[in-house]
Structure 1
Amino acid sequence: MSQAPPPRTRLLLADTPDAVGLARLHITNVLARWGVPPDSVETVKLLVSELATNAVRHPNRREQQRSSEADQHAAGTFEIMLDSDNDTIRLSVWDRDARPPVLQEVGVEASGGRGVFLVAAMSRRWGCYPANGRPGKVVWAEVSVCPEERRAESDWAEV
């Protein structure tokens, strides 16, 4: 007896300002088709927003410095990968910047810098590794999938 492979999707995007919204839309559509509960969908959307924003804001600076001035205005690319089994959604984002993400301490008044903190706080596990066979790195995060019915039953059992 053969088993179907786990659901998987990939999306290559240009690192342009509208890429983050397109990434969220893609994730929403895919996870709805996979039957993922809405709470988990919202968490994965938040994570993809943060990781895609980092990919757009922090392209490979060395590559940009080597290119001609005309090429500097051309968009680069990044890739979103989504895998699932019955209990976990794994979101991975490849970008061209080899520098690992850094958890920063940010003040209350800061207007940014909380992305990696949110990824760490909202995921079950997360990390990064060098991209294999291409420049940059892959940042990944895992989200537990707990169907609403099971979650409601477990909440009731704890009362």
Structure 2
Amino acid sequence: MVTTSPDEWVPPPRLTLELHACAENVYLVRNLVDQAADSWSLSQEVRHLGRLILTELTTNACRLYPGKVIHTWVATPRYGVGEVGVWDPDRVNLPRIIAVDEVAETGRGLFIINELTGGRLGWYPSRERPGKVVWARFGP
């Protein structure tokens, strides 16, 4: 085992969390963003945006794939831009932004994320395992 001093420690390029998709676990992704913000000395604005966005993406996965294993991540910001994502096991049902219904109680999440990120939101088929990754970038 190699021992390093705290001055030599470098945060990883990505913090990840694997969890079962259920509403009771969503708070864990907020903790993941907090760990990233502390490790990388992120601003409070980036921390709050990251928490909001990753919580919404994770909540969508929990609603659509209850009990399934999902993977969430926060990537090291580049040029002040944060990035978060959620992998889920479904490659068929793709995320889509729908028109906002002012009286509906659900369905606004991706619309709100799209607005908060200036359209820096998307998905891609996962190369590592069957499924897809839904991601968002936020910040300046």
Task: Answer whether TM exceeds 0.5 for this pair.
Answer: yes
Alignment partner, residue 139 of structure 1: 134
- 1:135 is displaced (CA, Å) by 2.0
Q: Partner residue of 2:82?
A: 89
2:104 alignment partner AA:
A
**C-alpha RMSD of the superposition:** 1.9
Amino acid across the alignment from 1:79: H
Question: What's the offset of the Cα at 1:11?
Answer: 0.8
The structure that has the greater radius of gyration is 1
Which residue is 1:44 aligned to?
50
Query: Cα offset for 1:92?
Result: 1.3
- TM-score, normalised to structure 1's length? 0.73
Post-superposition shift, 1:88? 1.7
Flag structure 1 segments of 5+ consecutive residues without an equivalent.
60-72, 146-159
For residue 5 of structure 2, what is the aligned residue in structure 1? none
> Is it true that 1:116 corresponds to 2:122 in the alignment?
no
TM-score, normalised by the number of residues in structure 2: 0.82
CA distance in structure 2 between the partners assigned to 1:129 and 1:139 by the alignment: 7
Does the 8 Å contact 1:7/1:34 carry over to 2? Answer: no
Aligned position for 2:21: 15
The one-letter code matched in structure 2 to 1:8 is: R
State percent identity of aligned pairs.
31
Amino acid of the structure 1 residue aligned with 2:135: W
